[in-house]
Chains A and B, each alone.
Chain A
Amino acid sequence: MTKRATGLIGSRLGYRINLVGLIGFAVVLFWAVIALFAADLIPYSVGEIVDTDYFGPMHPGLWLGSDYLGRDMLSRILMGARYTVGISLAAVTIACVTGVVLGMAAAVVRGVVDSVLSRILDAMNSIPSKLFGLMVVAAVGSSIPVLILTLSAIYIPGAYRFSRSLAVNINTMEFMTVARIRGESLAYLIGAEILPNIIGPVLADLGLRFVFIVLLLSGLSFLGLGVQPPYADWGALVRENLGGLPFGAPAVIVPSIAIATLTISVNLLIDNLPRKIRDRSAP
């Protein structure tokens, strides 16, 4: 959703978005629509065995072939979009809202709060992300709420660092001094004075972080530690159909392509955002 908003803001304000960016935007929009309406689009129920053959090829009726149990791959991919896009979107929203609010607050308040917060979040940042995910799953088991919270916890430090570095620059502006002298509250300072000035780069950063989260979620699911059966996201679909790899079954290739199209198009969209949005607070 957020990515769509970025695009619309762009065109409303009269910026030019180039062709590559538009293609990226279209693909992102496509997957967002699929994720929203997956339940109405699937030709077969996800658990239904429709093919007597496993790892069946693509043919009319089973457009993307069948998986290792003979289930319809198209339906499973469409429903998988829901988990991959939905979980990542929820996680990236939590991560960025928390990180950005903390980052702006640290930049405005400064002093002890800032240095303690920065130290702790830096230490969190020095645990490799996959390892962090593995440990949490080992400790509390894997479920969708746990996954969302873990993924957002992993990416809070990055969002914090990014927004803090932007907010520190804004904080030195004169209108901030004026607002401070007026006696405005912290909430007003970060919400009404800082946020509007850094919102462009923050949204672009949110998009990049969304890609990281999709990659990490798919990685965990691929290891069998992410989304658990009977549900399956794209990473889990690759894992369960890995047996079809030696004969190039579509069941293992298509979910890989799905992940790649989503992440590459988000990257393309962000890279081709108008400079005005991306680097608004850059000097």
Chain B
Amino acid sequence: MRARVPSLVLSRLLIALVTLVIVSFAVFFATTLLPGDTASILLGQAATPEAVAGLRTAMHLDEPALFRFLRWCLGLLRGDLGTSYANNMPVATLIAGRLVNTLKLAGLTALISVPLALTLGITAAMWRGSVYDRIVTIVTIGVISVPEFVVATSAVLLFAVYLKWLPALSFTNEIHSFYDLLRAYAMPVITLTFVVSAQMIRMGRAAVIETLNTPYVEMALLKGASRPRLVLKHALPNALGPIVNAMALSLSYLLGGVIIIETIFNYPGIAMLMVDAVSTRDLPLIQSCAMIFCLGYLVLITAADVIAILANPRLR
């Protein structure tokens, strides 16, 4: 039995790798299906037949799509992401700074939402059926049922319009003090925290409740253990795997959320860059951003799966 865990983990990593290849295939072909010839679009007014033919050869556009796909993959592996169509800058340069910004936003959100969601999810499960549990459940269902931008607009209405604590839809680069920094990040982080924590609380609560329904917890209850002791000492150690799994899975909601949040708050991150690239149809930029997002998503899902495998004592 002991040998099963490494082989299971290995096969999970292998599946992730295969999926990544399929995904990169999909990303490349979805974006090369574009109607219209890239070379003539790029040249615009100056599109003489000779110039178009020359540029096509220079960009390897006359090669079969499969060759271009392989060339593109090799470029990605070497860190060469191509050149942006819109402003002729290397995609890597465009992305670098933006990626750091997005990671800052995501990291900060994770830092706040994980402890918050853990506390709320576990306590809600501890007092299941109480008024407190019902309030937590209703609020989380409410947040999950509405689009991220509705959460964002409500947060702006509450904190910026009525309470006037924070600036509304503006992200300034003029950060002079810690206080400025706090104010600038507050709205995007608050909104993202809402979106991500709601998922985490639901999944965490469900994981704890599932463990609470087991015979050994009932046994502890019959012994006369108090509720906190029941949950913290008996149920939690066994629910830890599912909970961590749930945390990793809910963090993948960050990806969807960050696209909306960066747009609404004008935050200079990579999602915003991608939305702009879609409206200008800047293919190399779209491809690279899409790959970064898919990679992040896959890493989180695979991590969740691996944790679930490692945490299952029946496999050990």
The docked-state distance in angstroms from the alpha carbon of A253 to that of B22 is: 41
The docked-state distance in angstroms from the alpha carbon of A218 to that of B298 is: 25
User: Does B33 contact A140, Cβ atoms closer than 8 Å?
Assistant: yes
For window 215-237 of chain A, which residues contact chain B by CB distance below 8 Å? 215, 218-219, 222-225, 235
Query: Known contacts A135-B286, A223-B259, A264-B146; is A123 also within 8 Å of B19 by CB?
Result: yes
Chain A: residues with CB nearer than 8 A to chain B?
120, 122-124, 126-131, 134-140, 211, 215, 218-219, 222-225, 235, 238, 242, 245-248, 252-253, 256, 259-260, 263-264, 267, 271
The docked-state distance in angstroms from the alpha carbon of A256 to that of B160 is: 17
User: Does B290 contact A135, Cβ atoms closer than 8 Å?
Assistant: yes
Residues of A within 8 A of B169 (CB): 242, 245-246
User: Does A136 contact B293, Cβ atoms closer than 8 Å?
Assistant: no
Return 5 A-B CB contacts under 8 Å, by A number: A135-B31, A136-B30, A218-B149, A222-B263, A267-B145
What mask results when residues 129 to 165 of chain B are scored 1 for a CB within 8 Å of chain A, else 0?
A: 0000000000001100111111001101100111000
Residues of A within 8 A of B157 (CB): 245, 248, 253
Chain A nearest CB from B72 CB (Å) reads 15
Which 7 residue pairs spanning A and B have beta carbons closest together? A123-B22, A138-B278, A263-B145, A256-B150, A264-B145, A260-B146, A218-B147
Residues of B within 8 A of A222 (CB): 147, 149, 260, 263-264
Q: Interface SS of chain B: helix, strand, loop or mixed?
A: helix
User: Does A138 contact B281, Cβ atoms closer than 8 Å?
Assistant: yes
User: Does A235 contact B293, Cβ atoms closer than 8 Å?
Assistant: no
The one of B150, B160, B297 in contact with A126, judged by C-beta atoms closer than 8 angstroms, is B297
User: Does B275 contact A223, Cβ atoms closer than 8 Å?
Assistant: yes
The docked-state distance in angstroms from the alpha carbon of A135 to that of B293 is: 12
Count B interface residues, CB 8 Å.
49
User: Does A259 contact B146, Cβ atoms closer than 8 Å?
Assistant: yes
Chain B nearest CB from A271 CB (Å) reads 8
User: Does B278 contact A137, Cβ atoms closer than 8 Å?
Assistant: yes
What mask results when residues 266 to 299 of chain B are scored 1 for a CB within 8 Å of chain A, else 0?
A: 0000000011011101010010001001100110
Chain A nearest CB from B95 CB (Å) reads 15
User: Does B141 contact A267, Cβ atoms closer than 8 Å?
Assistant: yes
User: Does B23 contact A123, Cβ atoms closer than 8 Å?
Assistant: yes
User: Does A134 contact B275, Cβ atoms closer than 8 Å?
Assistant: yes
User: Does A245 contact B153, Cβ atoms closer than 8 Å?
Assistant: yes
Closest A residue, CB atoms, query B26: A127
The docked-state distance in angstroms from the alpha carbon of A271 to that of B140 is: 14
Chain A nearest CB from B139 CB (Å) reads 12
Query: Known contacts A129-B256, A223-B263; is A238 also within 8 Å of B31 by CB?
Result: no
The docked-state distance in angstroms from the alpha carbon of A129 to that of B148 is: 14
Query: Known contacts A126-B301, A256-B154; is A246 also within 8 Å of B160 by CB?
Result: yes
B255 within 8 Å of A by Cβ? Answer: yes
B55 within 8 Å of A by Cβ? Answer: no
For window 180-230 of chain B, which residues contact chain A by CB distance below 8 Å? none
Residues of B within 8 A of A235 (CB): 147, 149
B252 within 8 Å of A by Cβ? Answer: yes
B34 within 8 Å of A by Cβ? Answer: yes
The docked-state distance in angstroms from the alpha carbon of A56 to that of B261 is: 27
Most buried by A among B27, B35, B150, B264: B150
The docked-state distance in angstroms from the alpha carbon of A188 to that of B34 is: 41
Query: Known contacts A128-B297, A245-B153; is A263 also within 8 Å of B146 by CB?
Result: yes
Residues of A within 8 A of B263 (CB): 222-223
B168 within 8 Å of A by Cβ? Answer: yes
The docked-state distance in angstroms from the alpha carbon of A130 to that of B149 is: 13
Closest A residue, CB atoms, query B150: A256
User: Does A259 contact B150, Cβ atoms closer than 8 Å?
Assistant: yes
Query: Known contacts A127-B294, A131-B255, A219-B260; is A245 also within 8 Å of B278 by CB?
Result: no
User: Does A138 contact B145, Cβ atoms closer than 8 Å?
Assistant: no
Residues of A within 8 A of B255 (CB): 128, 130-131
The one of B146, B160, B294 in contact with A131, judged by C-beta atoms closer than 8 angstroms, is B294
User: Does A252 contact B153, Cβ atoms closer than 8 Å?
Assistant: yes
Closest B residue, CB atoms, query A235: B147
Chain B nearest CB from A140 CB (Å) reads 7
The one of A123, A135, A224, A253 in contact with B279, judged by C-beta atoms closer than 8 angstroms, is A224
What mask results when residues 1 to 27 of chain B are scored 1 for a CB within 8 Å of chain A, else 0?
A: 000000000000000001100110011
Chain B nearest CB from A221 CB (Å) reads 10
The docked-state distance in angstroms from the alpha carbon of A122 to that of B15 is: 10
User: Does B294 contact A139, Cβ atoms closer than 8 Å?
Assistant: no
